[in-house]
């Protein structure tokens, strides 16, 4: 199972082997031993989440702090997203930098996001199903966020303001500079 380096310590793109024939396809989307041996990823996933979104939906950027921080393995079941992460690990050489990758039905890529990153996505196709595994349970009191529209992050948004569908909660997220005191991870 090939893993692609992203230039961010610990974060990798996983491209599963896909076996296709006249019936369709089969792929192994996760194997703990392969992730450990080939990519040195030793996460114990405890929660799976899935969302359905329409074109123009913008979700995130979200993260949990302290002992509630989460590593995630994200992918698209159907449709397409522009997946966005921001390194919030103060000791990291990529601190404050964003990484963007397209995940869709065709490329079947997965992105492993270690603890200490804010995560979000922009939906580019209607009826997109997004799936992610977490290595820690959701904890509302530890949840924080950063506005995906923060100009400092320099994230290219493929929609006009009128096309974007953003929750009220996400519309009120602070900038990266405004969350500096909350950036601690275990």
User: Which structural domain range is residue 125 located in?
Assistant: 45-103+110-182
What is the distance between the alpha carbons of residues 19 and 58, in angstroms, rounded to a whole number? 32
Active site residues: 62, 132
**For 57, what's the count of Cα atoms within 13 Å in the CB-facing half-sphere?**
19
DSSP-assigned states of every residue in 103-172? EETTT--EEEE-TTEEEEEEE-STTEEEEEEESS---GGGEEE--TT-GGG-PPP-S-TTT-EE-HHHHT
Asked whether residue 4 is domain-assigned, the answer is no
What is the distance between the alpha carbons of residues 134 and 78, in angstroms, rounded to a whole number? 20
Is it the case that residue 186 has pLDDT exceeding 70? Answer: no
Average pLDDT value over all residues in the chain: 94
Count of domains forming the chain: 1
Asked whether residue 156 is domain-assigned, the answer is yes
Asked whether residue 166 is domain-assigned, the answer is yes
Q: How many residues in total does the chain contain?
A: 186
Asked whether residue 12 is domain-assigned, the answer is no
Q: How many CB atoms lie within 10 A of CB 171?
A: 11
Q: How many CB atoms lie within 10 A of CB 54?
A: 12
Asked whether residue 118 is domain-assigned, the answer is yes
Q: How many CB atoms lie within 10 A of CB 99?
A: 19
Dump pLDDT digits (tens) for 79-103.
999 999 999 999 999 999 999 999 9
Asked whether residue 167 is domain-assigned, the answer is yes
Task: Please return the burial class of 57, using the count of CB atoms within 10 Å of its CB with bins 0-12, 13-18 and 19+.
Answer: buried
Percent of the chain with pLDDT over 90: 91
pTM score of the predicted model: 0.94
Dump pLDDT digits (tens) for 46-56.
999 999 999 99
Tell me if 40 sits within 8 A of 112, measured CB to CB: no
Dump pLDDT digits (tens) for 128-151.
999 999 999 999 999 999 999 999
The structure tokens 């009220």 sit at: 168
Asked whether residue 87 is domain-assigned, the answer is yes
**CATH code of residue 171:** 2.60.120.10
């Amino acid at each position: 199972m090939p893993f692609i380096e992203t230039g961010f310590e610990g974060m990798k793109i996983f491209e599963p082997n896909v076996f296709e024939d006249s019936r369709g396809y089969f792929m192994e989307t996760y194997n703990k031993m392969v992730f450990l041996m080939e990519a040195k990823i030793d996460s114990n996933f405890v929660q799976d989440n899935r969302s359905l979104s329409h074109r123009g939906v913008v979700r995130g950027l979200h993260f949990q702090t302290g002992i509630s921080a989460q590593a995630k393995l994200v992918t698209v079941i159907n449709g397409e997203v522009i997946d966005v992460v921001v390194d919030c690990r103060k000791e990291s050489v990529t601190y404050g930098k964003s990484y963007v990758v397209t995940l869709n039905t065709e490329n079947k890529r997965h992105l492993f996001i270690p603890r200490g990153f804010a995560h979000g996505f922009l939906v580019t196709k209607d009826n997109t199903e997004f799936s992610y595994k977490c290595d820690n349970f959701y904890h509302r009191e530890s949840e924080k966020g950063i506005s995906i529209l923060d100009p400092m992050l320099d994230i290219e948004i493929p929609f006009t303001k009128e096309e974007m569908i953003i929750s009220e909660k996400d519309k009120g997220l602070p900038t990266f500079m405004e969350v500096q005191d909350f950036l601690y991870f275990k």
